[in-house]
Amino acid sequence: MANNKRGQQSFVLPQLPVITAWASVAGKKESEGPLKDYFDITSQDTLFGQKTWELAEKQLQKLALDTLLNKAGISRHQIGLAFSGDLLNQCIGSSFSMRNTGIPHLGLYGACSTMAESLLLAAMTVSGGFSDNVVAMTSSHFASSERQYRFPLGYGGQRTPTAQWTVTGSGAALVCSAGVGPRIESCTVGAITDLGIKDANNMGAAMAPAAWSTIRTHFSDLHIGPEDFDLIVTGDLGQLGKDLLLELAQKEGVSLGGKLADCGTLIFDQTRQDVHAGGSGCGCSAVTLCGYLLDRLKSGELNKILFCGTGALLSPTSTQQGLPIPGVCHAVCIRGGRD
């Protein structure tokens, strides 16, 4: 077993946890995009039957959790632990969806890296023998994010070309000590980087250096390279951030070219859906993983992927105070269930 005893950031899991079930819930715009056939639930009602955008986001997670448990055929009482978080102030999307479920819960804040963060903590919990069934979950909602981070929707603010579109969606995965499904082999916990980028409308640029740092560390810690993966998939760098990541890798002599995909560019059709640089938000990588990616790992279309959740750790307050945008990226290596 490799671990990070020598200061390494990567863990190889001694007992491979299995992702036995996954579920995704998505909004109207996402249901019109290229991944529409992979979502379990879509809604044309952006409020998901709730009174506020924040309660709609709570509802997204509630639906994702219920769908996950249904698909797995287990009850809430069989869940030993749930990890979740979101972008809302004080993570109320997660707290309100988990209240009175009776499920032991640990809240996370990793901005848009939360799907990877929750997945790697779930894998550590299961592999360490602490629980047999652990949930990893997150969400984002376009309207609650716009109100909180940018402008009220009614203001009709003009978006810059580098801006990304926050995905309305929630993804949940069930990580177990036994069962059938894709397995988590290893993971790399990112360190927070800050290269001084201050444009809150260009978060791809703020996150790309963190993504490259974590991917490079994953390769060097485990003595592997891009050739060992069918796909290296980042969370929500968008088109600009993805191009920047390719460039950063190229400068160090590593070609990610044929292997790199980004959930922010996969989830929307940039020629047809007016999303500028692509999708973003915790929900972006969550619904792409808990649908498209895990489905393809299950079917054998993909054998091994490196899922790299990327997060821009800004707040409206830090931006207003002129502070730069720290970035983080956590990587999880997932192998298909067929070999």
Residues within window 14-33 making contact with its own copies, judged by CB under 8 A: 14
Report whether 311 contacts 111 (CB < 8 A). Answer: yes
Query: Of 204 and 336, which CB lies nearer to its own copies in the complex structure?
Result: 204
| φ and ψ of 296, to 5 deg | -75, -30
| φ and ψ of 202, to 5 deg | -140, 65
Other residues' Cβ atoms within 10 Å of the Cβ of residue 151: 12
Give the integer Cα–Cα distance in Å for 195 and 319. Answer: 15
Q: Which parts of 84-103 interact with its own copies (CB under 8 A)?
A: 85, 87-92, 94-96, 98-103
Least CB distance from residue 314 to its own copies, whole Å? 7
Q: Which of 70, 106, 157, 180 binds its own copies (CB under 8 A)?
A: 106
Give the integer Cα–Cα distance in Å for 142 and 185. Answer: 33
- Binding of residue 153 to its own copies (CB under 8 A): no
Q: Which parts of 273-292 interact with its own copies (CB under 8 A)?
A: none
Least CB distance from residue 56 to its own copies, whole Å? 12
- Bridge partners (DSSP) of residue 41 are 25
- Binding of residue 220 to its own copies (CB under 8 A): no
Per-residue contact flags (x/-) with its own copies for residues 109 to 148, judged by CB under 8 A: xxx-----x---x--xx-xxxxxx---------------x
Which token pair is 315? 């707040």
Q: Which of 17, 33, 80, 241 binds its own copies (CB under 8 A)?
A: 80
Give the integer Cα–Cα distance in Å for 262 and 242. Answer: 7
Stretch that binds its own copies, among 29-37, 107-115, 164-172, 256-264 (CB under 8 A): 107-115
Per-residue contact flags (x/-) with its own copies for residues 165 to 204, judged by CB under 8 A: -----------------------xxxxxxx----------
Strands 231-234 and 165-166: unpaired
Least CB distance from residue 78 to its own copies, whole Å? 6
Query: Of 9 and 67, which CB lies nearer to its own copies in the complex structure?
Result: 9
Report whether 182 contacts 18 (CB < 8 A). Answer: yes
Stretch that binds its own copies, among 22-30, 60-68, 83-91, 246-254 (CB under 8 A): 83-91
Helix (H) or strand (E) holding 125, with range, is: helix 114-127
Query: Of 241 and 311, which CB lies nearer to its own copies in the complex structure?
Result: 311
| φ and ψ of 334, to 5 deg | -120, 130
How many residues form the binding site for its own copies (CB under 8 A)? 71
Q: Which of 92, 65, 90 is nearest to 76 (CA)?
A: 65
